[in-house]
Amino acid sequence: MVRESEHRDLFPGALEIMILQSLKLKPMHGYALVKHIKQASEDMLQVEEGSLYPALQRMLKEGWLDAESGISTKGRPTRIYRLTEAGRKHLEQEVVSVEKMFAGITRVLAIARA
């Protein structure tokens, strides 16, 4: 899904959360998304194209995204992806559950360390 420095699989839905979170900032086209995630994670995460485009189609089908014709940063015709209201709600839920999961993992690790 996402190429990590350690090549470890992320938990299911991680890619989707990152796409949704990125698009929450502003609507973007595919290439911009890849670059944005790479920069935001300070090069720790690299989105694989082979995962990105199927993921985008899945999210379009779920109704979390809209696609519209637009112009890329370099002035070429492309499709801009935009977060919908349903996507925003889904993101909020996912963020809460991810934070809970992280909190849980942190605690378990803390006990193990002690």
Partner 1 sequence: MNWLPQIFSRGKRYDDLAVSIQEHLEERMEELMADGMARKQAEQTAHREFGNIALIEQRSREVWHWEKVETLLADLKLVFRRLRKSPGFAVTILLTLAIGIGANTAVFSVVNSVLLKPLPYPDANELTALRLDAPGAGGLSSFSSGLRLSTSMYITFSEHNHSFQSLGIWIPGTANVTGIAQPEQVRLDGISAGVLETLAVPAAVGRWFSDADQDPRGPKSVILNYGYWQRRFGGDRAVIGRSIQVDAQTRTIVGVMPQGFRMVDNDFDLLLPLAIDRHKQKLAGFGFNGIGRLKAGVTLQQADSDLAHLIPVWMDSWSNGPGTNPHYYEIWKISPNFLPLKQQVIGNIGSVLWIVMATVGLVMLIACINVANLLLVRAESRQQEFSIRAALGAGRVRIARELLLESVALGLIGGFFALGVAYAGLRLLVAIGPADLPRLSEISIDARSLFFALLVSAVSGLLFGSVPALKYARSRNALTMSGSSRTSSAGRARQRSRDILVVAQVAMALVLLVSALLMIRTFAALRNVDPGFADATQLETLSIWIPDLLVPDPPAVARAQKQIADNLASIPGVDSVAFAGAVPMDGNDPDWDLITVEGKKYVGGEGPLRLYNYVSPGYFHTMGTRIVAGRDFTWDDLNNVMPAMIVSESFARESWGSAAAAIGKRIKKYDSSPWLEVIGVVEDVHVHGLDEKAPPIVYWPAMFYDRFGREPRMDGLRTVTFVLHSRRTGAQGFLGQIQQAVWSVNPDLPLAGVQTMQQLYSQSMARTSFTLVMLAIAGSMALALGIIGIYGVIAYAVSQRTREIGIRLALGAQKSELKWMFVRSALMLTGIGVVIGISAAALLMQGIKSLLFGISPLDPVTYCAVPLVLATAAACASYLPARRAAGVDPVEALRAD
- Dihedral sign for Cα atoms in the order 52, 54, 58, 61: positive
Q: Both tokens of residue 113?
A: 């360390």
In angstroms, how far apart are the furthest CA atoms of the chain? 56
Contact call for residue 61 and partner 1 (CB under 8 A):
yes
Q: Interface residues for partner 1 in 4-43 (CB under 8 A)?
A: 29-31, 34
Q: How many CA atoms lie within 13 A of 19 on its CB side?
A: 33
Identified binder of partner 1 from the candidate list 5, 25, 54, 101, rule CB under 8 A: 54
Residue 3 or 107: the one with the smaller Cβ distance to partner 1 is 3
Contact call for residue 74 and partner 1 (CB under 8 A):
yes
**106 in helix, strand or coil?**
helix
Q: Residues interacting with partner 1, by CB under 8 A?
A: 29-31, 34, 48-50, 53-54, 56-58, 60-61, 67, 72-74, 76-79
